[in-house]
Amino acid sequence: MAKIIVVTSGKGGVGKTTSAAAIATGLALRGNKTVVIDFDVGLRNLDLIMGCERRVVYDLINVIQGEAGLNQAMIRDKRVDNLHILPASQTRDKDALSAEGVEKVLDALSKDFDYVICDSPAGIERGAQLAMYHADEAVVVTNPEVSSVRDSDRILGLLSSKSRRAEQNLDPVKEHLLITRYDPERVSDGDMLNLEDIQEILAINLIGLIPESEAVLRASNQGVPVTHDMKSDAGQAYTDTVSRLLGEDVPLRFHEYQKKGLLSRMFGGGRR
């Protein structure tokens, strides 16, 4: 049975899809058979981040409506053998997602895969609730700013009341906090919320901290999940996050502001 992990946030633009792609890639690189599903029907992005947009024929909605089989719709990743992508539909809207259909797809995938990663749409409406409903674990992506933290708080409330585990009185969904776009320099200047404040408000376990990084934008535009860029700080931070998801104890990195030394100031600080 696969572990179903939803990547969610409430707020848009905080890095859900980037994180879903990076985590799925990381899990597959570690030898786990992984599929990542785009639940953002109508605003499909995951295929772009994963660099497979030219190979999309069928999508999640086609599968749900019986117009295509799962194996026809799933795209095998070119870089990692164990990784598959199930894209969303760009032409339909969220009403095409049915609860029964999602359940059927997830049940089928659970038999063949070790990990099913659900990339949730923003918001707290139907699409987001269907993406989280079957989750065993949740990665709540939060930026260091007050509106993002409040929306994450709202999503955590929904996870504890509107998920399958909550409704069937099973063990609750395991919640993880993933802080993205963290800029230690701006945190030390007081422009951004710091790590401790976010953790205090949300009161859940921190699974990772991804620093604000040029590598993320570059990776998105090239269609290569940032996990492949092991020279970058963001790539390393996502790799750490995956290790923690797999139960390993990895110390936190990239959260402290280091004043630039003379050399790095002269030579532009090198590649981030």
Cα separation, 199 vs 241, whole angstroms: 16
Pattern 235-264, binding to another protein, x per CB under 8 A?
A: ------------------------------
> 101 labelled as ligand-binding?
no
Compute the least distance from the CB of residue 112 to another protein, in Å: 24
Number of residues that bind another protein (CB under 8 A): 24
Residue 270 region by backbone torsions, left for phi larger than 0, else alpha for psi between -120 and 50, else beta: left
- Under rule CB under 8 A, residue 93 binds another protein: no
Cα separation, 180 vs 42, whole angstroms: 25
Which part of the chain contacts another protein (CB under 8 A), choosing from 29-37, 150-158, 213-221, 232-240?
A: 150-158
- Under rule CB under 8 A, residue 129 binds another protein: yes
Among 56, 96, 201, 206, binds another protein (CB under 8 A): 201
Rounded to 5 degrees, φ, ψ at 226 are: -65, -15
> 34 labelled as ligand-binding?
no
Cα separation, 55 vs 107, whole angstroms: 25
Compute the least distance from the CB of residue 113 to another protein, in Å: 23
CA distances to 26, 33, 172, 209 from 19, rounded to whole Å, are 10, 18, 23, 11
Cα separation, 180 vs 188, whole angstroms: 16
Among 41, 158, 179, 234, binds another protein (CB under 8 A): 158
